[in-house]
Amino acid sequence: MITNAIQALTRVGQMMRTKARVGQTPHHVARDHGNWRLLRFLPDRPRHRRPILMVPSMINRWYVLDLMPGRSLVEYLVDEGFTVDVIDWGAPRREDRYLRLEEVAGATLGRAIRASAQDAGADRPHVLGYCMGGTLTAMHAAVHPEAMASLTTLAAPVRAAGILADWTRSPAFDARALVDAFGNVPWPILQASFLLLRPTLTPSKVAFLWDRAIRGPWNEDFIDGFLAKEKWANDNVSMPGEVFRAWVEDIYRDDMLVEGGMRIDGIPVRLEQITTPLHALTFADDYIVPEESAEPLVEMAASTDKVHLHLPGGHVGAVVSKGAKHHLWPLLSSFWADRDEAPKAQPLRSLA
């Protein structure tokens, strides 16, 4: 038994040293703005007029939405006949420390939204924001509700709650000093902070791996999924300094997004001005963005077409697990399909 365990651990170690294959759904770069790109995924058989623009968090890699075959929200939607665009934020350059949160939520998202719609020949895209991306898209929708056919937010914080609220609101935490020291806030500091939210997370992963893949029968599919998720979880990027400061001080510490104190292009960002169809999803085991962190968006938005679902699962697992294909993804697809138009039939070319 010990020999078998050692062999299994050695095999897992070898697999971990080779990069997991992630982001495999075919796509091309539709726009390249230097510090961010717009990636486009086209269906073989389009069945919907409006594209879906996905906005991930700025501190995580985009491919969490296209993790691997069978665990890819993008792959699922493309198979459903949707054109999907995804923002790849890239990594901040040294000068990006001065990039403001309102620029990202305003001008940058505006460019991506217009490009997504224009290239698809549609009036507006459906927009999905995941985690921090959901906060940014909600800010944009509060100032430009006419720009989106609908807004879907996955675990999107609009105010601090839980342990993160305690940390960021502590007088001992000086966000400005951190930015002054580093410029862009290094990803190892950000990653360490999230690990401290659940100090037992790493040993629990080891125990789970042992139970599922080593002590029991070897499960190739489980190992592939585990490695892909771990690659993403450890492939983070730094955060632009001024964006970090505004995130901590304005949104988390001073509650300015809920209170209406933030601005885009000089226009107040008021969540009660959101009128676009809204689909907000929160997850029961999400310790990063608990329900009370995201709920004010649902309560305050003026949308007459408004759906809030509180589902089982965690911040990441609910989106990329094998079960998501049977639960979360069909809910998203149905929401967009019910608020969309079929593409116009193309006239047949004459053979004469």
Domain assignment present for residue 14? The answer is: yes
Q: How confident is the model at residue 57 (pLDDT cuts 50, 70, 90)?
A: very high
Q: What is the CATH number of the domain that holds 102?
A: 3.40.50.1820
Q: Give me the residue label for tokens 């997504």.
A: 116
CB 294 within 8 A of CB 157: yes
Q: In whole angstroms, give the CA distance from residue 40 to residue 313.
A: 28
Q: What is this structure's pTM?
A: 0.89
Look at residue 16 and tell me whether its pLDDT is greater than 70: no
CB 61 within 8 A of CB 36: no
Q: In whole angstroms, give the CA distance from residue 74 to residue 86.
A: 9
Q: In whole angstroms, give the CA distance from residue 274 to residue 38.
A: 25
The predicted-structure confidence for 174-195, as pLDDT tens digits, reads as follows 999 999 999 999 999 998 888 8
> Residues 129-155: what's their mean pLDDT?
97
Domain assignment present for residue 348? The answer is: no
Residues of the domain holding 72: 2-337
Count how many domains the chain has.
Answer: 1
Domain assignment present for residue 349? The answer is: no
Domain assignment present for residue 317? The answer is: yes
Report the mean per-residue pLDDT for the chain. Answer: 89
Domain assignment present for residue 87? The answer is: yes
Domain assignment present for residue 347? The answer is: no
Q: How confident is the model at residue 135 (pLDDT cuts 50, 70, 90)?
A: very high
Strands 278-283 and 37-41: unpaired
Let me know if 193 is exposed, middle or buried by CB neighbors in 10 A (0-12, 13-18, 19+).
middle
In this prediction, residue 230 carries a pLDDT of 86
CA of 261: how far to CAs of 102, 152, 300, 319, in Å?
Answer: 12, 23, 15, 32
Domain assignment present for residue 269? The answer is: yes
